Structure 1
Amino acid sequence: MQLRYLFTLFLTLSILNVSGQSTNKDVLFTIDNESIYASEFLRVYNKNLDLVQDESQKDVDEYLKLFTNYKLKLKEAKALGLHEKPSYLRELASYKKQLAKSFVTDAKVTDALIEEAYTRVSYDVKASHILIKISENANPEDTLVAYNKIIKLRDRTLSEGFENVRKEVHNGQTVYGEKLGYFSGFKMVYKFENAAFNTEVGSVSEPFRTRFGYHIVNVTDKRKSRGERTVAHIMVVSKKNDSLAEKPEVRINEIYKKINQGEGFEALAKQFSDDKNSAPKGGMLSPFSGGQLGTQEFEDVAFNLEKIGDVSKPFQTKYGWHIVKLYEKKPVPEFEVIKSELEQKIKRDDRSKLIDEALVKKLKAHYSISDKQPALDYFVSILNDDYFKRTWKLPSDFKEDKTLIKIGKKQFFYKDFGDYLIKTQGRTVEKSSYKNVISNKYEAFLNSNLIQYQEDNLENENEEFAHIVGEYRDGLLLFELMESTIWNAAKTDSIGIQDFYNKNKKNYIQSERIDAVVASSTKQKILKKVSKLLKKDMALDEIKSLVNSSDKVEVIFTSGLMDAEHQSLPKMFSFKKGVSKIYKHNDAFVLVKVKDVLPKEQKTFEESKGAVISDYQTYKEKNWIKDLSVKYKININQEVLKSIKSQIKK
């Protein structure tokens, strides 16, 4: 599912197929009898212009080739009946349902809740609370008793002090008095969060109820959140397959000593960090906030650095050993940056009930649904106590064919609501009046069907939704086609892959490498001494003992097989045996002893299998497209193409 989604997203960005007929009837080209309109091509070209990385694809003729190939593939997919496969239809239906959730909502209420949530994630509240525990479905008498208890406890906290009362009344069963520490938005149920954020520091809230019972909250502090950090790091990992490599703890401490000796953090990161992504950038990482990284230890160290430029001591995580330097401290990200994330959290939170209520109100107006429902009196008249025993049945003379309500073009009858009552009678726990039961059940029935009807008809009622579904529909269909025709076939065609490798061996060559030792230091004079010792073939441990000490690391050595792109080697380094001259590299000096030069050599099939399969798939796809061009006749209207080019130039 994940791979399908990623592939479909790629297709959406690269060749966007917007559904629906254009009012512009200029046909750019036909594939057999199917017309493709100029307006669609222009829309696709203009929308994706900034996303195209290959400049040649911005050329109209080149882009037209991509577009026609895309249409050819879709034509073939439908000819093969892939659009009728049950798995395809299930996944498309699942996607439509998931996508509909972002459209079936009340935007005004949602936006207000997002803004409120942003304010709350920007702050931390420190609070304690006292809870009188009571069931969410407790009867009125028990509810009143609990409410009176919390009122009395609040009065006591105002005179005796909240902390004193909290400690005294807590029993961990019916009454809870707890210190909650700091928390921000989304860390508590919404009603509790509301009370905490709306209570002044040093004050005790009015009693309020959640699904756990009745609470009072004492707020003792409010502060801005920890926000965001930008750091650089040097990472050293264990070299499992290198028996000669130093222990990572020893190496990271050597680097730490060089930092304390005044050597540049960025230069050391470029030379020695095993994080290949950040090393070329001096160890710099993208900004992050709490909870974003996969290691709590790293986050704690980063957030505990106080001043810009502070450097941590070496510490260990599951990834290896690190040293971290602080570059920037930021508050909570800007509103627009985390707006979509907040929206998703809101829809999973208790706040979603507010959105649902607003949505139902809007849908009632849209479909002209009256709040009055005369039919409810009839359903009240046929209900009895069997409903609370979960044994109730519709009477034999039930008026199932009478009209109940109409939503859009869909008619609902008494039978629909009667079946709903039967189906949901097991969810009615507390006994209530028949009128209340029917009223609550009808509200749930109506709300559910209002939302479902809009979901089912979104493609007809919402143009943007229709466009997105169309894009996904074609993208998913193309995935099905490529998977069955090219990818799976290429992976299983062992004879074809081997033959392709044999014919294209020149493309799978191991580059020239050296078996070398690189010495790095900020002091050229020290490396001159190291050069003499390397020329005498002195062991590295002996050289280290002569140039480094327990208090000061002057030189760090890196050894192993290296190609021309290795981070330790200077650019344009000449591969030849012996001890090199001293080079200026990455804000330091380096010296290289080349023990052996390994020439270019042919990679075996196993060594290059992954690349061979990928190239073979590309090869098969090119030939397949040629076959499709023969199978389906393409006619391009040159006059319309000329017009398109003139529009684009303007």
Structure 2
Amino acid sequence: MKLNMLRLTLFVFFVSNFMVKAQNKSVLFTVNDVPVYASDFKRVYNKNLDLVKDDSQKDIDNYLDLFIKYKLKIAEARALELDKKTSYIREFGNYKNQLAKNYLNDNKVTDQLVEEAYQRLLTEIDANHILVRIEENASPQDSLSAYKEIQKLRGRVINEGFEAIKQDVHNGRTIFAEQLGYFTAFKMVYPFETAAYNTAVGQWSQPFRTQFGFHVVFVKDKRKNRGDLTVAHIMLTDKDGQQTAQQRIDEIYKRIQQGEAFGALAKQFSEDKSSSSKGGQLNTFSSGQLSSKAFEEVAFGLKNINDVSKPFKSEFGYHIVKLIDKKGIKSFEELEPELKNKIKRDSRSKVINDKRIEALYAKYNVSKTLPNLQPITSILNDNYFKSTWNIPNNFKNETVLVSIKDKPLTYMDFAKFLAKSQRQRQPKIDLNQLVKNNYKVFLESHLKAYQEENLENENEEYAHILGEYRDGLLLFDLMETQIWNVSKQDSVGLQSFYNAHKDNYFHDVRLDAIVASSAEKSMIKKTAKLLSKNTTVDQIKGQLNSDSKINVSFITDTLNVNHQALPKGLDIKTGVSKIFKHNDAYSVVKIIRVLPKTAKTFEESKGNVIADYQAKIEKEWLEKLAKKYTVKINQDTLKQVKDELK
């Protein structure tokens, strides 16, 4: 019994799923035999349900009527070939390229990099490094040689110490041995940053490669990020004279202690011309950004806003520093958008690109094994390195080199790619290696291009958004050419429409009035008495307000009876009203004149006339479209849709 019940349950489940899938492919209606699917209608209906304020539009039949009219307009736009306009193609292409960026990469990879970057921002690292410089596209032999050299230097620096190695090998051209000071995320290229954060304090990393060459890094210290500082300073440098810079800076410090303004003294005495005119204020900085470690240590040592340091000496002279502002690291939620933008511009973007390429190789089942590239190597020569190489006239090789699903790429395609990718003054390398390097770039560029070309077929969400924008852009152009511009330019038609519908355009009852408001009831009572005595607004302000305090504010204007400043229950008659509690304040109104309901002139009502005239033209135009295009509704599918949506 239980087994039969299980079979029945599974049967119902599979039938239900089959019915849903079948309905998703079901045609709800056609426009001149062009199908519109039930799934499209349901998706748009559900998407817009919460946005619709008019309950009548939530009715499925009413909404279907609107949807059909929308599809009639799109059909007309295509019939008029608005989708072939240069301006349309350009604008749609720009949007498509921008939208595609959000769907081409794996967002999980970006999210992981953002989280990692934030965690690293919380910690500052003080490090030394040694670099063996080598070109990014160096030959395998040169790369191996550089790797062996950095391995040897790592062994030496562990045994001999950093300073000894620095003095012996640092030449600033091919080998660098440098003290880096403190840094945090985004201050170094990503592979270097990663190696530093993954190395323990007091340890040398294993050799690693960046775009600059092979490195090893020594982590001297790790500490909590000290945040951002804004400071002002007064700086003096030693000059010939009776007083030394130290004596002068001590005198200035005493004047600060006596209560003189730091900014004024900076303007008078500071020899840092870039900041003295601003009262000594420097741009906000974080650890490692300034070239003076001594200055940073004093600045970050100030605890409270407006604290002033004692005079001290740096590499640049004598200073006094004042703390203007001190901020810690923002929360992850606050920094997340900024981090995402930084990652797009940072060397981390290569990680995102590499993950994308790796996924595309698998997705399209493309082998990473190199094909026979000899036909290409055989037609290359040293002219390539001078950017003067041309494909030989007798090279007509259309043999398929590699395929990305249904797209074959030939030897000729690769040859054309090489011809276009030439650049002057590129370093000369072995031609076999050149072809291998460029084949990888050629294939991966085509993998990305193929994904972009087929994204609409591969990603349903992207296809829906793109389709909505495509139709929305067409609809805008159609309405502009068929309705909006026509109605605005038809001055005779607008005037005739106004004459026929004058009763629809009028001024409601209005008041020439003075409205006074105050937080204090006593002030409004005084104001009411003064208004009753015909005291002017300026005179009342003079009596009740002062330069230091505004007790009463006024509106003097012609106001609609529904104006927000007028209290509910106001008796519409001339004179001074009673006192009201309105909008969390006390108000009194003096009505000088009541203006009755009057007809608006054509100019006064022109905006409303144009809108109403456009609605009339659109209604008549839609009636013509309904006759021009044949719409057939599948009633069985409509019933299924109604049952599901209800």
TM-score normalised according to structure 1 size? 0.64
Aligned counterpart, 2:325: none
Q: 2:614 pairs with 612, 617, 629, which one? A: 617
Contact 1:519 1:590 in 2 (8 A): yes
Q: How does 1:190-209 map to 2 (within 5 A)?
A: 190=190
Contact 1:510 1:601 in 2 (8 A): yes
The CA deviation at 1:28 is 4.0
Aligned counterpart, 1:222: 225
Aligned counterpart, 1:49: 49
* 1:447 counterpart = 2:428: no
Q: 1:508 pairs with 505, 508, 514, which one? A: 505
The CA deviation at 1:534 is 2.1
* 1:586 counterpart = 2:614: no
Aligned counterpart, 1:422: 419
The structure-2 alpha-carbon separation of the partners of 1:482 and 1:599, relative to structure 1 and needing over 3 Å to count, comes to same
Aligned counterpart, 2:257: none
User: 2 CA distance for matches of 1:191 and 1:506?
Assistant: 75
The CA deviation at 1:444 is 0.9
Q: 1:364 pairs with 361, 372, 380, which one? A: 361
Which residue identity lines up with residue 587 of structure 2 in the other structure?
A: V
The CA deviation at 1:627 is 1.8
The structure-2 alpha-carbon separation of the partners of 1:436 and 1:639, relative to structure 1 and needing over 3 Å to count, comes to closer
The structure-2 alpha-carbon separation of the partners of 1:461 and 1:546, relative to structure 1 and needing over 3 Å to count, comes to closer
The CA deviation at 1:200 is 9.3
Q: How does 1:323-334 map to 2 (within 5 A)?
A: 332=331, 334=333
User: 1 CA distance for matches of 2:189 and 2:570?
Assistant: 62
Aligned counterpart, 2:390: 393
The CA deviation at 1:370 is 2.5
The gaps in structure 2 that reach 5 residues or longer are 1-20, 164-171, 230-304, 306-327
The CA deviation at 1:496 is 1.7
Which residue identity lines up with residue 357 of structure 1 in the other structure?
A: D
The CA deviation at 1:437 is 1.9
User: 2 CA distance for matches of 1:357 and 1:484?
Assistant: 46
The CA deviation at 1:63 is 1.1
Which residue identity lines up with residue 63 of structure 2 in the other structure?
A: Y
Q: How does 1:155-554 map to 2 (within 5 A)?
A: 190=190, 221-222=224-225, 332=331, 334=333, 346-395=343-392, 398=395, 400-426=397-423, 429-549=426-546, 552-554=549-551
Q: Deviations over 1:21-68 (max 9, x none)?
A: 966675544444444444543444344333322211111221121122
The structure-2 alpha-carbon separation of the partners of 1:117 and 1:593, relative to structure 1 and needing over 3 Å to count, comes to farther
User: 2 CA distance for matches of 1:196 and 1:565?
Assistant: 67
The structure-2 alpha-carbon separation of the partners of 1:117 and 1:489, relative to structure 1 and needing over 3 Å to count, comes to farther
The CA deviation at 1:330 is 13
Which residue identity lines up with residue 222 of structure 1 in the other structure?
A: N
The structure-2 alpha-carbon separation of the partners of 1:428 and 1:616, relative to structure 1 and needing over 3 Å to count, comes to farther
Contact 1:110 1:343 in 2 (8 A): yes
Which residue identity lines up with residue 53 of structure 1 in the other structure?
A: K
Contact 1:199 1:219 in 2 (8 A): no
The CA deviation at 1:587 is 2.5
The CA deviation at 1:90 is 4.4
Tell me how large the CA RMSD over aligned residues is. 4.9
* 1:631 counterpart = 2:634: no
The structure-2 alpha-carbon separation of the partners of 1:127 and 1:600, relative to structure 1 and needing over 3 Å to count, comes to farther
The structure-2 alpha-carbon separation of the partners of 1:188 and 1:520, relative to structure 1 and needing over 3 Å to count, comes to farther
User: 2 CA distance for matches of 1:126 and 1:584?
Assistant: 62
User: 2 CA distance for matches of 1:613 and 1:24?
Assistant: 41
* 1:603 counterpart = 2:606: no
Deviates further, 132-141 or 606-615: 132-141
Contact 1:133 1:175 in 2 (8 A): no
The structure-2 alpha-carbon separation of the partners of 1:641 and 1:441, relative to structure 1 and needing over 3 Å to count, comes to closer
Greater Rg over alpha carbons, structure: 2
User: 1 CA distance for matches of 2:562 and 2:120?
Assistant: 48
User: 2 CA distance for matches of 1:23 and 1:211?
Assistant: 55
The gaps in structure 1 that reach 5 residues or longer are 1-20, 161-169, 227-305, 307-328
Contact 2:507 2:597 in 1 (8 A): yes
Contact 2:386 2:426 in 1 (8 A): no
Contact 2:109 2:352 in 1 (8 A): yes
Contact 2:227 2:329 in 1 (8 A): no
The CA deviation at 1:355 is 1.5
The structure-2 alpha-carbon separation of the partners of 1:561 and 1:338, relative to structure 1 and needing over 3 Å to count, comes to farther
User: 2 CA distance for matches of 1:204 and 1:556?
Assistant: 71
Contact 2:123 2:223 in 1 (8 A): no
Aligned counterpart, 2:642: 645
* 1:561 counterpart = 2:561: no
The structure-2 alpha-carbon separation of the partners of 1:572 and 1:358, relative to structure 1 and needing over 3 Å to count, comes to same
Q: 1:574 pairs with 571, 576, 590, which one? A: 571
The structure-2 alpha-carbon separation of the partners of 1:636 and 1:351, relative to structure 1 and needing over 3 Å to count, comes to same
Contact 2:385 2:424 in 1 (8 A): no
Aligned counterpart, 1:246: none
Contact 1:201 1:222 in 2 (8 A): no
The structure-2 alpha-carbon separation of the partners of 1:132 and 1:539, relative to structure 1 and needing over 3 Å to count, comes to farther
Which residue identity lines up with residue 429 of structure 2 in the other structure?
A: S
Contact 1:88 1:476 in 2 (8 A): yes
User: 2 CA distance for matches of 1:330 and 1:102?
Assistant: 28
The structure-2 alpha-carbon separation of the partners of 1:544 and 1:189, relative to structure 1 and needing over 3 Å to count, comes to farther
User: 2 CA distance for matches of 1:60 and 1:224?
Assistant: 57
The structure-2 alpha-carbon separation of the partners of 1:195 and 1:481, relative to structure 1 and needing over 3 Å to count, comes to same
Aligned counterpart, 2:105: 105
> May I ask how many residue pairs the two structures share in their alignment?
509
Q: Deviations over 1:177-235 (max 9, x none)?
A: 99999x8x768765676578779999999999877999999876516799xxxxxxxxx
Contact 1:393 1:422 in 2 (8 A): yes
The structure-2 alpha-carbon separation of the partners of 1:636 and 1:427, relative to structure 1 and needing over 3 Å to count, comes to same
The CA deviation at 1:616 is 2.0
Contact 1:26 1:37 in 2 (8 A): yes
Contact 1:203 1:219 in 2 (8 A): no
Which residue identity lines up with residue 499 of structure 1 in the other structure?
A: S
Q: Deviations over 1:270-325 (max 9, x none)?
A: xxxxxxxxxxxxxxxxxxxxxxxxxxxxxxxxxxxx9xxxxxxxxxxxxxxxxxxx
The structure-2 alpha-carbon separation of the partners of 1:617 and 1:347, relative to structure 1 and needing over 3 Å to count, comes to farther
Q: Secondary structure at the match of 2:422?
A: helix
Q: Deviations over 1:555-593 (max 9, x none)?
A: 333433333344433223234322222111222212222
The structure-2 alpha-carbon separation of the partners of 1:539 and 1:472, relative to structure 1 and needing over 3 Å to count, comes to closer
Q: Secondary structure at the match of 1:102?
A: helix
Contact 1:520 1:555 in 2 (8 A): yes
Higher relative contact order (CA 8 A, sep 6+): 1
Aligned counterpart, 1:167: none
Contact 1:125 1:196 in 2 (8 A): no
Which residue identity lines up with residue 105 of structure 2 in the other structure?
A: T
